[in-house]
Amino acid sequence: MRVLIRLAVALALATPALAQQQEGIFPFDYRLVELENGFKAYLIKTGAPNQIAYVSMVRTGSRDEWEPGRSGFAHFFEHMMFRGTDKYPNYDAITTEFGAARNAFTGNDLTVYYLVASNEYLEQIMDLESDRFMNLNYSEPDFRTEAGAVLGEYQQSATTPFGFLFEKLRETAYDRHTYRHTTIGFEADVRAMPEGYDYSLSFHQRYYRPENVVLVLAGDFDFDVAEGLVEQYYSGWEPGYVPPQIPGEPQQRAPRRRVVEYQGRTLPVLTVNYKGPAWSASDRLAVATEVLGQVAFGSNSDIYKKLVIEERRVQFLNGDFDLPRDPGLLSVAAMVINPDDVGVVEAEIQSTVERFSEELVDEKLFNDTKSNMKYGFLMGLETAQNVAFSMIQYVINTGGIEAVNEYYSALDSVTREDVREAARRYLVENGKTVVTMVQAEGE
């Protein structure tokens, strides 16, 4: 694939296309179609012969579940959206006829639905997808059946070591913000879900609206034909998005520590977490924070080489400093081979935090890391689906894909001093939450 550090942007506001040239990292031509109801569609020509990836990104996830007792409904709709409509009651059968690969996933800040198929089915797919977003229809018995399936999924997740740990970590680290519950929701809420049929209709009416959904179509198609189909099939969608009333998280003023016992076999898992910033393409310190996670705790870091490769004290060490839509957690996790070494591993993590707060990161590691982030992005644009998926964080955080250029421009400008400042600002004792999972006695 030819990599062009250039972006040709063709903007279409449901009127004749307006061409505009910008410098940037994204190598593909695209067109934005923006309808009067607020719906946006990004049409990206990727050169994948005869193939399209059709990705509908809903800017609603478990973060938006702010009403007490109602967690889990974003994930629930991931299930219900496959139930069909009056026009197309059997979604699975139709997409099978297309030979389409299709699925969906939910996270803190998003729900994403996608199909990958031959481009000959573009109009049928657009008809099908627009219809289920506008006209989803399910009975109360269907709702109760699917709610029972979600409970089964919760029980399966909660009995796995990392599902259990992740739930306890969220409960410990957050007091008010909706990141306190996992994507699948609190257990009590999931158990009560079968009684929430009327609420489910309200949830769909508020969040599945054109202003809150962005389509990314990537692959091989004609710009003008695709634009016309977007206007034809999505213009009738009535606006009405109601923003969630998400409570702010109070500032953490003291470190938190908790040990949780897993009722099954597991090695100890130590997680050290800090309150970090929200995702931003323009805030250089936010971008530097993501760089910090890789240089301090990534696979090329000194602590990884020491604990994983040389001393073999841990089975894995992972630094997750990817930033969510609202201020989230910067997390370091390690599975410790010998339970007696948990304290040693935590001390090594603390030593690493202190070093990066005091010293500048090694220049070669810093430059290599930034280069890997940039060219890893470019080399990942191998298929139509990869291209569309690479735009998810920009759409969910900003409502469009234009911030991709801004983000990588900010990355280019990040300095070693910025990385040190990010460590000083965010990896602080009063913002730390340590949760350790151990095997329950007798297991």
Residues 208 and 300 in one domain: no
CB neighbour class for 412 (10 Å; exposed up to 12, middle 13-18, buried from 19): exposed
| Residues 82/87/92/93 CA torsion (nearest 10 deg) | 170
Q: Is residue 265 part of a domain?
A: yes
Residues 196 and 298 in one domain: no
CATH of the domain at 80: 3.30.830.10
Residues 308 and 408 in one domain: yes
Residues 30 and 131 in one domain: yes
What pLDDT is attached to residue 210?
A: 98
As given in the structure block, the two tokens for residue 29 are 């031509």
Q: Is residue 1 part of a domain?
A: no
Q: Please name the residue that has the structure tokens 């151990």.
A: 438
Picking from 234, 268, 289, the residue at the C-terminal end of a domain is 234
The residues that bridge with 335 in the sheet, in sequence order, are 269, 316
Residues 349 and 382 in one domain: yes
Domain region containing 300: 256-439
Give the distance from CA 281 to its chain's centroid: 15
> Read out DSSP for 161-230?
HHHHHHHHHHHHH-SSSGGGS-TT--HHHHHHGGG-HHHHHHHHHHHSSGGGEEEEEEES--HHHHHHHH
Q: Is residue 143 part of a domain?
A: yes
Q: Is residue 349 part of a domain?
A: yes
Picking from 202, 234, 266, the residue at the C-terminal end of a domain is 234
> Read out DSSP for 279-339?
P-SS-HHHHHHHHHHHHHHSTTSHHHIIIIIIS--EEEEEEE----SSS-EEEEEEEESSG
Residues 343 and 406 in one domain: yes
Could you give phi then psi for residue 55, rounded to 5 degrees? -120, 115
Q: Is residue 15 part of a domain?
A: yes
| Residue 125, helix vs strand vs coil | helix
Instruction: Provide the number of structural domains found in the chain.
Output: 2
What is the pTM assigned to this prediction?
0.92
Residues 211 and 261 in one domain: no
Q: What's the start-to-end Cα distance of the chain, in Å? A: 52
d(CA 361, CA 257): 29
DSSP classification of residue 383: S
Q: What is the number of residues in the chain? A: 443
- Left if phi > 0, otherwise alpha if psi is -120 to 50, otherwise beta: which for 136? beta
As given in the structure block, the two tokens for residue 22 are 């910008």
Q: Is residue 2 part of a domain?
A: no
Residues 97 and 225 in one domain: yes
Whole-number Cα distances in Å, 406 to 26, 282, 308, 379, 392 = 11, 6, 35, 19, 15
Give the closest residue to 12 by CA, choosing from 194, 230, 175: 230
d(CA 34, CA 16): 12
Residue partners of 39: CB distance under 8 A and separation at least 6: 210, 211, 213, 214, 215, 230, 234, 237
What pLDDT is attached to residue 443?
A: 64
The residues that bridge with 8 in the sheet, in sequence order, are 21
Give 201's Cβ-side CA count (13 Å radius): 9
Residues 186 and 300 in one domain: no
Per-residue pLDDT in tens (0 to 9) along the chain, 443 residues: 222 222 333 333 333 333 333 568 999 999 999 999 999 999 999 988 999 999 999 999 999 999 999 999 999 999 999 988 999 999 999 999 999 999 999 999 999 999 999 999 999 999 999 999 999 999 999 999 999 989 998 888 888 999 999 999 999 999 999 999 999 999 999 999 999 999 999 999 999 999 999 999 999 999 999 999 999 999 999 999 999 999 999 999 999 999 999 999 999 999 999 999 999 999 999 999 999 999 999 999 999 999 999 999 999 999 999 999 999 999 999 999 999 999 999 999 999 999 999 999 999 999 999 999 999 999 999 999 999 999 999 999 999 999 999 999 999 999 999 999 999 999 999 999 999 999 998 76
Q: Is residue 250 part of a domain?
A: no
Q: Is residue 91 part of a domain?
A: yes
Residues 331 and 430 in one domain: yes
Residues 380 and 260 in one domain: yes
Residue partners of 282: CB distance under 8 A and separation at least 6: 403, 406, 410
What single-letter amino acid sits at 98?
Answer: F
Residue partners of 48: CB distance under 8 A and separation at least 6: 218, 219, 220, 383, 384
CB 133 within 8 A of CB 78: no
Picking from 201, 234, 267, the residue at the C-terminal end of a domain is 234
| Residue 63, helix vs strand vs coil | helix
Residues 143 and 274 in one domain: no
What would you measure as the largest C-alpha separation in the chain, in angstroms? 71
